[in-house]
Amino acid sequence: MKLLIALTCLLAFTASSAMAALCRFEILVKTGNRKDAGTDARVSLQVTAKSGPTLTISNLVSWGEMSAGNDYFEKGELDRFGGIGSCMPSEPCNMVISSDGSGNKPGWYVDYVMVTQLGQDSVSSMTHKWAVDQWLAIDEAPHMLSANRNGCGLAAP
């Protein structure tokens, strides 16, 4: 009986460890080329697949991979970010990008966001690109500080 309980616990631990596998994520964010498109506001990102864990980054600059002192989210620029998060079992498809509306020139025009999960072991590499084409600003239409893009056919988080 003790052996059966031990084997059951080992199998449960192995299954939960596989579910908690960590992957590297690479993120590209393209700021638009419009007048005053750049921002100094704090930007956050949330990405999910149809099922599984959510990748939540409360301060995207903390994942920055550009040269030291780079000024992120400037007009016409493509910024690169990267970090480690829980692996997604399928293609990332829902995305919410948000600005806190702070700092000098808080309005921001976002062209697109692209997220790549780099596979390892039994986890596949997957990429999804969302066209945002929207101001994240209170004083520009649609007068919102976030953009939700749903590519899964599910409600955005």
CATH architecture assignment, domain 22-150: Sandwich (2.60)
Which pTM does this prediction carry? 0.83
Q: What is the mean pLDDT of residues 52-73?
A: 91
**Contacting residues for 81 by C-beta, under 8 A, at least 6 apart:** 26, 27, 28, 29, 57, 60, 61, 63, 64, 65
- Give pLDDT tens digits for 100-129: 999 988 999 999 999 999 977 777 899 999
Greatest Cα pair distance in the chain: 71
For the chain, what is the mean pLDDT?
86
Domain range annotation of the chain: 22-150
Query: What pLDDT score was predicted for residue 7?
Result: 41
User: Cα(66)–Cα(88) distance, rounded to whole angstroms?
Assistant: 25
**Contacting residues for 87 by C-beta, under 8 A, at least 6 apart:** 21, 22, 23, 52, 53, 117, 123
- Give pLDDT tens digits for 8-36: 444 444 444 445 699 999 999 999 999 99
